[in-house]
Amino acid sequence: MELNNVQKSQMIRKRMIIGAVTAIIASVLAFLNVKKSRTKRPKIVRQPYVNRDSLREANIDSVLYCGDSHCLGQIRMRPSAFFSFCNILVERGLLSKRKQMSVKEQVLIFLYLLGHNVRFRDVGGSFFRSTWTIHCYFHIVLQAILRLYPYLVNPPGTHMQPEIQNNPRFFPWFEDFIGAIDGTHVRASVPIEMQERFRGRKDKTTQNVLATVDFDLKFTYVLAGWEGSAHDSRVLGDALRKGFKVPEGKYYLADAGYGDRKGFMPLFRRVRYHLKEYTDNPPENEKELFNLRHSSLRMCIERAFGVLKKRFRVLDAEPFWSYETQVDVVIACCVIHNYLRGVDPNDAITREADLEVETHDIRKSLTQKKILEETKECVKKRNSIALAMWNAYKKHRTN
């Protein structure tokens, strides 16, 4: 019996040894197979360490220090205007240097996004920043620029504007006019259930933006956020309820959509105005002459809208952020536009936009507008201007 136990223990040890050896052999074979398979794969060459801070700074410098034209193409303003704009934001306490990002980089990224309508991830890749970082600083700069609105978008004064006073075609006939008013449509992105309300003149969804400009192409009032299907007169009514006012005795140049309100002077309806003063087809009466000069002077607002959309491509492309942000972006673009009118009014973008406006007839036939009843005061004022202007015009033609 004792012998049998010894034999059994020996057999158990032998089996354990065999099992251990088998496991070792299996492990060795597995290791060799893995090593063999790895040798067949292409080797991954490790890249050298990338100094992101250095590359980021080099990217910023390449935008700001490679010439005015290059900078204008990248961030839609020249370097001198850019640095001055950054200083304004810092001096007013609206932006400050953060641990992660300088003021210069914050503003540059913001302007690049507005100028080219690129995604946050695309800009993040160029500046070695995360999408979340770009998103956060975009909104920080946006809110800072919106707080500049009271400083840069000012109501017009009651004094006569030089563009009228120094031009015999407009003075003294338009001495009480302080600017022009109109609406423009800006691309909008809204939920499907809201899209029908936002389809305006075109098939695309838009927001209707009301604005007034002076004759220096500066915005003096901006109301954004109305759906594209809203009529201009309805948007104006909302603006008046929110505090928009016309100084007593003053007028805005307007189209037929605003003709039923005091302070807004439209053209004569159903009267031609696609003509020239000194050609073979001159105006034939006081109404035609008034319409001609009215439309010529009112081109200031079309020019302002043209420059705005030429500079900020984000306004002509489908946005990818919330609708509240889309509204804020429109106002921010107008604020920056006014700043640039003060420091760099004749840059290449402005000249290009003016050329496009001059070569493209943007005026619409008045018969296509909704005819609204005008106030007696505006009718009387307009008729007296037209008659006095016509008498002076005939006198000048006969001399």
pLDDT digits (tens, 9 = 90+) for 240-274: 999 999 998 899 999 877 766 788 988 888 776 55
Task: Count CB atoms within 10 A of the CB of residue 84.
Answer: 15
Region 135-157: mean pLDDT is 95
Please list the residues that pair with 186 across neighbouring strands.
207
With a pLDDT cut of 70, the percent of the chain lying above it is: 85
Closest CA to 78 of 315, 340, 353, 334: 340
**Which residue has 């204008």 as its token pair?**
72
**Per-residue pLDDT tens digits for 367-386:** 333 334 445 666 777 777 87
Q: What is the pTM of this model?
A: 0.80
**Cα 122–Cα 126–Cα 129 angle in degrees, nearest 5:** 85
Describe the chain by its helix, strand, coil percentages, rounded to 5.
Answer: 55, 10, 35
- What the block records as the tokens of 92 is 């007013």
Report residue 74's pLDDT band, with 50, 70 and 90 as the boundaries. very high
Distance CA 338, CA 325 (A): 20
Q: What is the DSSP letter of 367?
A: G
Greatest mean pLDDT among 23-32, 102-111, 195-204: 102-111
* Measured torsion, CA atoms of residues 100, 104, 106, 108, in degrees rounded to the nearest 10: -140
> Alpha-carbon distance 394 to 383, whole Å?
16
53: which residues sit within 8 A by CB, 6+ positions away? none
Amino acid 259: pLDDT = 63
